[in-house]
């Protein structure tokens, strides 16, 4: 797998990409030391690339009641429910770094009910998982359970929107068969 | 339901929205005669609104091997699999109009295997449904089935990406509990 | 689909049918303006036809605590759970007419939890859906939930029996591949 | 359970029943030596009782390509899929008697794939089980598999109709919580 | 099936077995009047045979808060959930004998919720079934439900361990396709 | 979780254990540098401990056609299907070491279809997963698929027996809520 292709679909050369996309990719490379495969795979379609990362950043980088580590918890839990190798491994790495915990990602990916999280985070993950797997059944009681843990209405939107965005992301990565970069497996295990 | 709120979350006044979003909404209102509720519901978060519709248009409005009616078939079939009332009713209307067929949307929403579609469209829907419900199991044989019906690699991307985008969209509409506008139910029924 | 056969199985000529069945069919034709396909499909087996409609009428036409619209709600919700195209479309039409509501059937067929129904009707549909999909798990608490909404014991029988009868009916229509008559799609939408 | 009620719903006295129903019940009592509980439970609603048994007899007693034992195999397999205690035990007894095999019913109820049946009967049970559990997915290939084993079109109707009828019957018995008569457990065990 | 092989895998001759295994088998034959097929099937691998029966006896033969009949209830309920023909029929026989009840095993195998058991036994079976089918979701509330019925901590271990051991046993018997001995079907029905 | 208890059940002191069990535990501690929690959790019941590890060693330590790394692949894949945190993390570590591959375990745990394995290993994992999740449906075709990849009959037994043993092991670890030792998370990550 390590030496396999970055996507089932054509992968552009960096030099052939529109300026803004090339710059975005070079920026992440500079920061991380490598280019995460999802950037290269999605760059095949520049307009979709731009929308995808604009949406991603709007949910994952903005300020709000959820910490950045908590947002990654949602990504890892729901991506595991969708058996998405790329997302579990890549966002597992980010979660380890943001939570400064070398084990939390593996716990959440395998069985979030057994992970070392607070009751508030457990409620957050229950809601995210229901959004990911049975969203048509989400009802008032689910929102009440979040409110009981002190989540604001904006937090509730964030939880649902992150789970929904990665429902899309997981399906793209699964169908494109994007492998995680080798670097992600080891990051933050320190 | 008809008189219920447009979303579980706060819905902005048109006058309070950023210029670009207000213009987009007024444009759709002009074209359709009403403002689809999803525009108002998502406008609560302008950055997410912009990314959502940029992504939507990149997939649904661009040229390509799939007709616009076929893209709506994918939306209706996968949204029905997710029991998403807003998406089934709103995109059912669009499908009726684009396919110039007053019955196809109800057929696809209820059981796409019994719908009046071509074998090529059936293969397209099988792939879309697998992407929507079991994406981790998509493998070479699924791509081969599409190729056997003459779909290009770009078409395959489109099918998967539309199914993935509405995996997100369905979850948002379900959690936000966005009702379809009354107008959608009757549109295109001839 | 519109021009397809009425059933995978042989469909008799009206003239060849036993007198009582022909009269029943002519009566429904007179009332509706067309012969619903299920009448023609089942007429291939006169004894089964007679038993089917005797049972149907005993449940759907008799007086009782459930309104005729409520009985159709049960049919539409459970038929959608069984992905039965014929029953969802045909009984969706009847529900629109009986409830005098052009949108309720599409709501119930897509996600009955989001439909514009009363709490009493919601309890009725929860019980019907459990009967349709997990009847072995029906227990005292399910009956208590109905009693709490004021349903009598005879109403409870009706809810279960209608869900059970259409469990049969959905399977017959699915296996026979009976298409809804074109007329049903548009009825009651006005 | 042995001493429990015959139904969650009111059970009529034999003396209070309409003449035709009382006679039908006395006839089965004379033949079997006891009154199967389903007769008493359903007699609470005479019209439904009449339709139910008319339908039952039309499917189970008529001549045709399926032996009476084979029809009971379908009942036992699909009733086990629905976890219906009454139907599995009562029809298990009838199957033992009709097949003159003391073990076949337990085999089919537990895992029909391991039962001592012919390849033709295995194909019949595969079709019946698909009708019982995933009827919306029944397609041409399923009919072809039956044809390959020599089943006629009328046989195919019978298989589907028996599976469909007991989909109803299982749900009624489950919701009514009808216990099998003690006699059934031992019948035909040799 | 009756005359079929004892296993898909090679079955040793009694004479070729190690002394301890031959003695164990002869002892069970002496006690039961026949050699249960699972003994012959597993004897193909003596070390696994020894470990299997040592584990079995440690759970099923030791003293404790669960009666021997109750332990067999767990086996029958969970084996039915796994559709294991050998285990349902063989342990159904043992349950009939230990509970001195000719009908309980069939009730538990078909739908344990309808079986003639005490509320305490019902709680035991609920816990065993969750262990068998959704063990990752077992949480504090499940243990609390057992405690409320008076089960000790050691009893809770026993319930879980028996369900877990037969999760293994069911899979072995299913894959090996071990048929129940004819004798088991009739035992204890008297 | 790191600081949590080793089991929901009582955990013995090493000094209080029978000699043979203490020696086994000390031996694993000497080899690994720590005592895996499952040893301490199961030691609460010495007879079960002995049977468990005798069975484990008979399957995992004996010679045969499956490499030790391949046996661990089966453990990791099926334990992930059962959402067993202890087994995925502990056996993930062992797999990394035995396969000398720092990434294979995470791949197999998340989606074995995307893992860097040979077609022969893929067939092995397909069979193991069917044994773990749908063993009642294992039939001739499943064995034929293994034979086509060159597996011997003894190999087939090994695959099934390892999957079955960990079906038990996963349920025990889930119900006991045994956390992986911190050491396992990092082992073999190079």
**D69 close to D95: Cβ distance less than 8 angstroms:** yes
**F185 close to A102: Cβ distance less than 8 angstroms:** yes
Contact F109 A114 (CB under 8 A): no
Query: Nearest Cβ partner of F182 from A83, A103, A111?
Result: A103
Q: What is the pLDDT of residue F190?
A: 81
Q: pLDDT digit string (tens) for C130-176? A: 999 999 999 999 999 999 999 999 999 999 999 999 999 999 999 99
Contact flag for C and A (3+ C-beta pairs < 8 Å)? yes
Q: Which two three-digit tokens encode residue F46?
A: 């010495």
Q: Which two three-digit tokens encode residue C98?
A: 């009986």
Residue C136: its chain E contacts at CB < 8 A?
111, 113-114
Pick the residue from chain E with its C-alpha nearest to D175. E114
**A95 close to A72: Cβ distance less than 8 angstroms:** yes
Q: What is the pTM of this model?
A: 0.97
Q: pLDDT digit string (tens) for D73-100? A: 999 999 999 999 999 999 999 999 999 9
Q: Tell me the HSE value of E78 on the side-chain side, using a 13 A CA sphere.
A: 34
**In angstroms, rounded to a whole number, what is the distance separating the alpha carbons of residues E176 and A151?**
52
Q: What is the pLDDT of residue A1?
A: 41
Q: What is the pLDDT of residue A2?
A: 44
Contact A52 B48 (CB under 8 A): no
Name subunits touching E (3+ CB pairs < 8 A).
Answer: A, C, D, F
C-alpha E137: how far from chain center: 23
- Mean of the per-residue pLDDT values of chain C: 97
For testing contact with chain E, the best of A81, A109, A113 (most E CBs within 10 A): A113
Distance to chain A for E105, nearest Cα, Å:
34
Residues D101-127 have a mean pLDDT of 98
Pick the residue from chain C with its C-alpha nearest to E114. C136
Host H or E run for residue F98? helix F85-99
* CA Rg value for chain F: 17
Q: pLDDT digit string (tens) for E3-53? A: 579 999 999 999 999 999 999 999 999 999 999 999 999 999 999 999 999
Q: What is the pLDDT of residue C190?
A: 81
- Mean of the per-residue pLDDT values of chain A: 97
Host H or E run for residue B45? none
Q: pLDDT digit string (tens) for C167-184? A: 999 999 999 999 999 999
What long-range pairs does B121-126 form, CB within 8 A, spacing at least 24?
B121/B70, B121/B73, B123/B148, B123/B149, B123/B151, B124/B66, B124/B70, B124/B73, B124/B74, B124/B149, B124/B151, B124/B159, B125/B73, B125/B74, B125/B77
Which residue ranges of chain E lie beneath pLDDT 50? 1-2
Q: Which two three-digit tokens encode residue D45?
A: 């609603």
Residues contacting C74, CB < 8 A, separation 6+: C66, C124, C125, C128, C159, C162, C163, C166
Q: What SS3 class is residue D22?
A: helix
**In angstroms, rounded to a whole number, what is the distance separating the alpha carbons of residues A56 and B55?**
12
Q: What is the pLDDT of residue C1?
A: 41
**In angstroms, rounded to a whole number, what is the distance separating the alpha carbons of residues E68 and E61?**
8
**In angstroms, rounded to a whole number, what is the distance separating the alpha carbons of residues B139 and B129?**
14
Q: What is the pLDDT of residue A133?
A: 98
For testing contact with chain D, the best of C51, C75, C83, C132 (most D CBs within 10 A): C51
Pick the residue from chain E with its C-alpha nearest to F62. E47
**A80 close to E136: Cβ distance less than 8 angstroms:** no
Q: What is the pLDDT of residue B182?
A: 97
Integer CA distances (angstroms), D99 to A152, B27, E4, in order? 65, 72, 19
> Is A3's pLDDT higher than 60?
no
Residue C176: its chain D contacts at CB < 8 A?
160
**What residues of chain C have any CB closer than 8 angstroms to a CB in chain B?**
1-2, 4, 80, 83-85, 88-89, 92, 102-103, 106-107, 109-111, 114-116, 174, 177, 179, 182, 185-186, 189
Q: What is the pLDDT of residue C90?
A: 98
Q: Which two three-digit tokens encode residue B167?
A: 């995996």
From E158, A37, D66, select the one nearest F114 (Cα to Cα).
Answer: A37
**In angstroms, rounded to a whole number, what is the distance separating the alpha carbons of residues B22 and B15?**
8
Residues F32-47 have a mean pLDDT of 97
**A64 close to A153: Cβ distance less than 8 angstroms:** no
For testing contact with chain C, the best of A136, A137, A142 (most C CBs within 10 A): A136
**What residues of chain A have any CB closer than 8 angstroms to a CB in chain F?**
1-2, 4, 80, 83-85, 88-89, 92, 102-103, 106-107, 109-111, 114-116, 174, 177, 179, 182, 185-186, 189
Q: What is the pLDDT of residue D4?
A: 77
Q: What is the pLDDT of residue D2?
A: 44
- The verdict on ipTM greater than 0.90 is yes
> Is D63's pLDDT higher than 50?
yes
Name subunits touching B (3+ CB pairs < 8 A).
Answer: A, C, D, F
- Mean of the per-residue pLDDT values of chain F: 97
Buried (b) or exposed (e) across D59-95, using 16+ Cβ within 10 A?
bbeeeeebebbbbbbbbbbbbbbbbbbbbbbbbbbbb
Residues contacting D100, CB < 8 A, separation 6+: none
Q: Tell me the HSE value of E150 on the side-chain side, using a 13 A CA sphere.
A: 7
> Is C49's pLDDT higher than 60?
yes
Distance to chain A for E137, nearest Cα, Å:
7
Q: What is the pLDDT of residue C4?
A: 77
- Per DSSP (E only), the strands in chain D are none
Name subunits touching A (3+ CB pairs < 8 A).
Answer: B, C, E, F
* Reported confidence tier of residue F2, pLDDT bands at 50, 70, 90: very low
Output DSSP code: residue A152.
-
């Amino acid at each position: 797998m390590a030496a396999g292709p970055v996507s089932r679909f054509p992968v552009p050369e960096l030099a052939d990409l529109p300026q803004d996309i090339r710059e975005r990719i070079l920026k992440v490379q500079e920061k991380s030391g490598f280019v995460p495969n999802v950037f290269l795979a999605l760059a095949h379609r520049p307009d979709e690339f731009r929308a995808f990362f604009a949406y991603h950043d709007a949910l994952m980088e903005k300020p709000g009641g959820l910490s950045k580590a908590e947002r990654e918890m949602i990504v890892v839990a729901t991506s595991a429910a969708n058996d998405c190798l790329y997302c579990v491994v890549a966002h597992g790495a980010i979660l380890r770094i943001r939570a400064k915990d070398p084990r939390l990602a593996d716990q959440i990916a395998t069985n979030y009910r057994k992970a070392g999280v607070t009751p508030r985070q457990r409620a957050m993950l229950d809601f995210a998982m229901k959004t990911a797997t049975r969203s048509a059944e989400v009802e008032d009681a689910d929102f009440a359970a979040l409110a009981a843990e002190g989540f604001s209405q904006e937090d509730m939107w964030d939880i649902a929107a992150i789970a929904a965005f990665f429902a899309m992301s997981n399906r793209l990565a699964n169908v494109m068969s994007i492998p995680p970069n080798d670097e992600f497996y080891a990051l933050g295990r320190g």
